[in-house]
Amino acid sequence: MQLPQRVSIVEVGARDGLQNEGQTVAVATKLRLIEALADAGLKRIEAGSFVNPKWVPQMADSEAVYAGLQKRSGVVYPALTPNLQGFERAITAGAEEVAIFAAASEGFSQANINCSIAESLARFAPVMEAARDLQVPVRGYVSCVLGCPVAGHITPEQVKPVVSELLAMGCYEVSLGDTIGTGTAGTMQALLEALLQTFPAEKLAVHCHDTYGQALSNILVALQHGIATIDASVAGLGGCPYAEGATGNVATEDVVYMLQGMHIDCGVDLDKLIIAGQDISAELGRRNASRAALALSAKRAQSQAGSSGQ
Ligand code: HMG
Ligand code: MG
């Protein structure tokens, strides 16, 4: 399989990243982050979620975030919506694209959205109908494709029907979530070989949390299977509130660095992205989880010290 020449990055830091912050993050901080990500050239930036605010208080201000967005042409700002109530909130707030999210594991589905997989798919049907009426594109997620915090091992046969349902109901793409980051190059390969027998690579994306340090190798396997959409989170922000111990997604800076080395275009200015990641990490008082950002920032600081004679 040929590597893609171009990759589309879905930046999830402002949603997947910040939904897991213990501290309250001001709307102005979220907006500054989103603006900096757009400045760096990202074209798909998840900006919030319209879930039950009692479940995820960090996203309770998503209306205010969408109201404050300085929307740019050519950039989409999708919102996560778990049901029709969330979809209606998102559209009222001005979201032009939404994402629905299901799981490959019953245990995680219950923990995350308080219903079975079948019930979640039934809940999405009216969302898809309303989205079709308004011509709003819908992305789908399947969580726990390579492992589940409740059930442990997950097989490709558990993932396939959920992907199939989401595509059949009209999602334009399905993102495969390694929610707890336990996948390896081996399990990712087995999953993709099984899925690609049925679904074209253009319909799939990967969403790799980096808990076990496997995200970049899993992404490389996905690229080698022709998958050209990668989810990532600036500075590796985040985790999942319903997957204890899971760390953030792969850092966007690390993905961009790898893609540059492979001569795969993703349209992102790495220097600007690193500044966005350093700024939000400093604001949150977090260590930047991007290894490439840390290394390149240290190198830059060293060469600046050298050129100023220190
Ligand atoms: P529920 O409690 O079962 O819902 O929650 P319900 O329909 O029984 O309603 C109960 C109350 O919630 C009602 O209010 C509703 O109005 C309210 P009350 O009458 O008690 O005052 N409610 C809502 N309020 C605002 N917005 C809504 C909404 N829906 C109901 N949309 C629900 C079901 C799905 C809503 C809940 O479980 C929930 O919000 N879960 C969200 C969990 C979440 O956000 N998880 C993180 C995102 S997923 C993720 O990170 C994984 C991903 O990154 C991929 C990966 O890594 O694998 C995408
Ligand atoms: Mg996630």
Render pLDDT for 97-118 as a digit per residue (tens, 0 to 9).
999 999 999 999 999 999 999 9
At residue 24 the predicted structure's pLDDT band, cuts being 50, 70 and 90, is confident
Ligand 1 neighbours, Cβ below 6 Å, are 16, 19, 49-52, 55-56, 80, 82-83, 85-86, 89, 101, 112-114, 141, 143, 177, 179, 207, 209, 240-242
In single-letter form, the type of residue at position 298 comes to: A
pLDDT beyond 60 at 266:
yes
Q: Considering the entire predicted model, what is its pTM?
A: 0.97
What's the rounded Cα separation, in Å, for the pair 22 and 106? 27
Residue partners of 26: CB distance under 8 A and separation at least 6: none
Strand partners, 143: 103
Strand partners, 45: 11
Q: Which ligand is nearest to the CA of 87?
A: 1
Strand partners, 206: 176, 230
Distance 285 CA to ligand 1 centre (A): 28
At residue 243 the predicted structure's pLDDT band, cuts being 50, 70 and 90, is low
What's the rounded Cα separation, in Å, for the pair 179 and 73? 31
Q: Are 46 and 266 in contact (CB under 8 A)?
A: no
At residue 179 the predicted structure's pLDDT band, cuts being 50, 70 and 90, is very high
pLDDT at residue 306, rounded to an integer = 84
Nearest ligand 1 atom to alpha carbon 101: 58
pLDDT at residue 1, rounded to an integer = 67
* Cβ-based burial of 196 (10 A; exposed 0-12, middle 13-18, buried ≥19): middle
Q: Which ligand is nearest to the CA of 143?
A: 1
Nearest ligand 1 atom to alpha carbon 142: 57
What's the rounded Cα separation, in Å, for the pair 258 and 158? 31
Q: Are 30 and 37 in contact (CB under 8 A)?
A: no
The average confidence (pLDDT) of the chain is 95
pLDDT beyond 90 at 237:
yes
115 catalytic? Reply is: no
Catalytic residue among 144, 148, 171, 240: 240
Please identify which residue in the block is written with the tokens 């930046």. 11
Does residue 209 sit in helix, strand or coil? strand
CATH homologous superfamily, domain 8-308 = Aldolase class I (3.20.20.70)
Residue range 246-273: mean pLDDT, rounded:
96
At residue 125 the predicted structure's pLDDT band, cuts being 50, 70 and 90, is very high
pLDDT beyond 70 at 202:
yes
Tell which one of 10, 15, 52 to mutate to probe ligand 1, the residue whose CB is within 8 A of the most ligand atoms.
52
Residues with CB under 5 A from ligand 2 (ion): 16
Reported as a single tens digit per residue, the pLDDT across 35-93 is 999 999 999 999 999 999 999 999 999 999 999 999 999 999 999 999 999 999 999 99
Residue range 219-234: mean pLDDT, rounded:
98
Residue partners of 168: CB distance under 8 A and separation at least 6: none
Q: Are 250 and 208 in contact (CB under 8 A)?
A: yes
What's the rounded Cα separation, in Å, for the pair 94 and 300? 40
Residue range 185-195: mean pLDDT, rounded:
98
At residue 304 the predicted structure's pLDDT band, cuts being 50, 70 and 90, is confident
Backbone φ/ψ region at 229: left (φ over 0), alpha (ψ -120 to 50), beta: beta
Please identify which residue in the block is written with the tokens 């939404």. 98
pLDDT beyond 60 at 310:
no
Q: Whose CA is nearest to atom 3 of ligand 1?
A: 114
- For 11, the enclosing helix (H) or strand (E) is strand 8-11
pLDDT at residue 244, rounded to an integer = 67
User: Hey, what are 243's tokens?
Assistant: 């997957």
Nearest ligand 1 atom to alpha carbon 240: 50
Listed range (96-110, 173-187, 244-258) with the worst mean pLDDT = 244-258
Tell which one of 18, 21, 51, 85 to mutate to probe ligand 1, the residue whose CB is within 8 A of the most ligand atoms.
51
* Cβ-based burial of 274 (10 A; exposed 0-12, middle 13-18, buried ≥19): buried
pLDDT beyond 70 at 166:
yes
pLDDT at residue 74, rounded to an integer = 98
Nearest 10 degrees: Cα torsion 128, 31, 11, 92: 0
Nearest ligand 1 atom to alpha carbon 49: 44
Distance 54 CA to ligand 1 centre (A): 8
Backbone angles phi, psi at 177, to 5 degrees: -95, 115
User: Hey, what are 161's tokens?
Assistant: 């029907």
Q: What percent of the chain has pLDDT above 90? A: 90
Q: How far is CA 107 from CA 124, 125, 140, 250, 297, in A?
A: 19, 21, 19, 24, 41
Q: Half-sphere exposure of residue 23, counting CA atoms within 13 Å on the CB side?
A: 10
